[in-house]
Amino acid sequence: MANSDFQSFLDEVVMKNDIVDIISGFTTLKRSGNNMMGLCPLHNDKKSPSLSVSPDKQIFHCFGCGAGGSVIQFIEAAMNLDFMDAVKYLADRVHMEMPASRGGGDKQKQLMLSKKKERLYKINAMAARYYFDNLSKPEGRAGLEYLKKREITNQTIRKFGIGYAPPGWTSLIDHLKGEGCSEEDMFDAGLIRRRNNGTYYDAFYDGRIIFPIIDVRGNVIAFGGRIIKDGTDAPKYWNTPETLIFKKKDNLFGLNIAKNDKSGRLLLMEGYMDVVALHQGGFGNAVASLGTSFTPEQARLVKRYAPSAVLCYDNDEAGKKATMRAGDILFDAGVKVRVLTVTNGKDPDEFIKNKGSDMFSVLIERAEPLIEYKINEIREKYNLNDVDDKVDFTGEVSAVLAKVKNPAQREIYVSKIADELKISASGLMAAVRESERSIGAAEERRNEVRRTRETYRRQGTQSGGRGVWQAERFLLSLMSDAEVVTADFVKKGAVVIDVGINRVDGKIFGDVDFENVVKKAAKSGIEPADFVSDPVHQRLAELMFELSKSGKMPEAADIISRCQPEDAGAVSVILINDKSTRDKLAASSQPIEILVAAKEKRLRIKADQSGDDAELYRLFEKKKERKL
């Protein structure tokens, strides 16, 4: 498929997937003027809505995290997909078939990247089959014995695809070479490592139980290995490294199975064996992070599949810290969080083996809400019969309750704790509100620092002053609108029914004299090279001028699909902010005048520096004419 044909395919995909419908599946949107606003699901947006969605232009922009673009870029970010996978998801949603091939520039690179990913998925699947088959071979006896000792059934082994990597330097390499795989692809998949002399060896060379890490679409993306030999200095668990298809922060072990659970909650565990044991015990909603601290990306994954979560981490100090951190991230993402505490220092796997699944179900039902868990942990630090301790306890608890945004929930906790401390609820509420103001002020200071840094960064690439920068942005926003009828045509008495469409008095006209903002700027002598304040401005201007030659400007979402991927966020904020201007053509006069004046100033400086008196005189005369 030619590049232009693929672009037409992208335009149709965007057109058939309404961006408001798509984003409403991730967050609540409310009308605000011509746009819709909501809390951004792509970052921890928890105070005021920062996500702006334009139903007319079919684009979005978050003024908090800077993300933006069309529905394609939103799905890329929200579902952790690459460009081609996002397009396929949206195409499948509206029953469109993906084209077999395409060409041209960046799109060709994306196609090559997609093919590379497919190779890595395939090689990982072959490796998973190899590890699994080892359990039924003599060299895998040690692995099978370990799993039986841990009381893992054959059914559970098959369910998770658990396998074994026997000790040896090249067992996997030799097997995959026999399947026609290259060492380069094995290395890119993280399955093997490279020595300083350039030779390779298996990543799992020291005898490990292997847990395939499978994404929600069923692709094997990585592996985790648990060593079975005691008394070694090697790490107990070892994951394959991050690769083109595997990012730890974007995935959860066991989610490929747990996503089908209908309980409405996920159980968050610390390790692979805990997840496996819980699923075997009948808890099909158990998942675990992948050897790293819990991340906002993982919280968004949880929220996508369940409105609530139960944290089931170890009860030691490290586990408590991890619980607090993961709980806060989930809470900020809008997930209802409870905390389960396993008694007697046992992990969930041991508890189920000793007490059974029914007793673990009781623990789940008794799990404390995150706020109560935090308050109880604070209470353990203080003697509430001591006045000073009571004051310190009140201060810490106030900071916790200040983050509770639901008024009824906050009031319930305030009333309960006030009764316990034998103080007035109004006094405690005042302390909570003071903490809220302090937290808000601190957050605003951080935001101000961030905004200041962004301004300095942006202005560091600018030329011509902030007035020119603002004029460029406004003009580019106006340029993104469809054609508008010329003033001369309107004066002839025609009634324009739909601006941007060749429809006058209900009739379609193919030869109407149309003018757009791009053409108006060009007639004034402005060209893409005159957008000097920001590289993104210049690249967008080049695209606008090029598209204008076709005689019809595409919609804003289509413009974004033609931009460089890294520019999507910056371009979306330009296109979405047209200040609700009705007459785009008339509004363009002022920014055009500013850019024309800035261009003439640059030319005068250049003529002065080069000693071109004739050019200098011409430019000064032109300036005088403009003022008359």
Query: What pLDDT digit, counting tens, does each position of 426-480 carry?
Result: 989 998 898 888 877 777 776 666 655 555 445 444 445 668 888 888 888 888 7
Same domain, 7 and 99: yes
> For the residues of 427-454, what is the DSSP string, one character each?
HHHHHHHHHHHHHHHHHHHHHHHHHHHH
- In-domain check, residue 108: no
- In-domain check, residue 554: yes
Mean pLDDT, residues 65-75 taken together: 90
Mean pLDDT, residues 214-225 taken together: 92
Same domain, 290 and 351: yes
pLDDT attached to residue 510: 37
pLDDT tens per residue, range 237-268: 889 999 989 988 889 999 999 988 888 899 99
- In-domain check, residue 11: yes
pLDDT attached to residue 494: 37
Beta carbons within 8 Å of 407's beta carbon, 6+ residues apart: none
pLDDT attached to residue 467: 82
Same domain, 524 and 601: yes
Given its phi and psi angles, is residue 95 left (phi above 0), alpha (psi -120 to 50 degrees) or beta?
Answer: left
Last residue of a domain, one of 103, 129, 155: 103
Instruction: Determine contact, residues 290/253, Cβ cutoff 8 Å.
Output: yes
- In-domain check, residue 535: yes
Distance CA 426, CA 411 (A): 10
Same domain, 227 and 271: no
pTM: 0.61
242 or 610: which carries more pLDDT confidence? 242
- In-domain check, residue 159: yes
Same domain, 232 and 275: no
Same domain, 208 and 283: no
pLDDT attached to residue 105: 52
Q: What's the structural domain count of the chain?
A: 5
Same domain, 422 and 475: no
pLDDT attached to residue 206: 92
Same domain, 309 and 399: no
Of 351, 473, 383, 371, the closest CA to residue 413 belongs to 371
- In-domain check, residue 569: yes
Same domain, 535 and 620: yes
Same domain, 124 and 233: yes
pLDDT attached to residue 136: 95
209 pLDDT band, cuts 50/70/90, is very high
Same domain, 87 and 224: no
For residue 140, give the CATH number of its domain. 3.90.980.10
Mean pLDDT, residues 336-349 taken together: 82
- Domain residues for the domain of 70 are 3-103
Last residue of a domain, one of 326, 341, 375: 375
Residue type, 348: P
Same domain, 358 and 390: no
Q: Which of 220-224, 253-257, 556-560 has the lowest mean pLDDT?
A: 556-560
Q: What is the mean pLDDT of the chain?
A: 83
pLDDT tens per residue, range 500-543: 333 333 333 333 334 678 888 888 889 898 898 888 898 898 88
| H or E, element range at 297 | helix 296-305
Last residue of a domain, one of 225, 245, 265: 245
Instruction: Determine contact, residues 59/572, Cβ cutoff 8 Å.
Output: yes
Per-residue three-class SS string for 45-64: CCCCCCEEEECCCCEEEECC
pLDDT tens per residue, range 82-99: 788 889 889 988 888 887
pLDDT attached to residue 437: 86
pLDDT at 186 over 90: yes
- In-domain check, residue 486: no
For residue 285, give the CATH number of its domain. 3.40.1360.10
- In-domain check, residue 69: yes
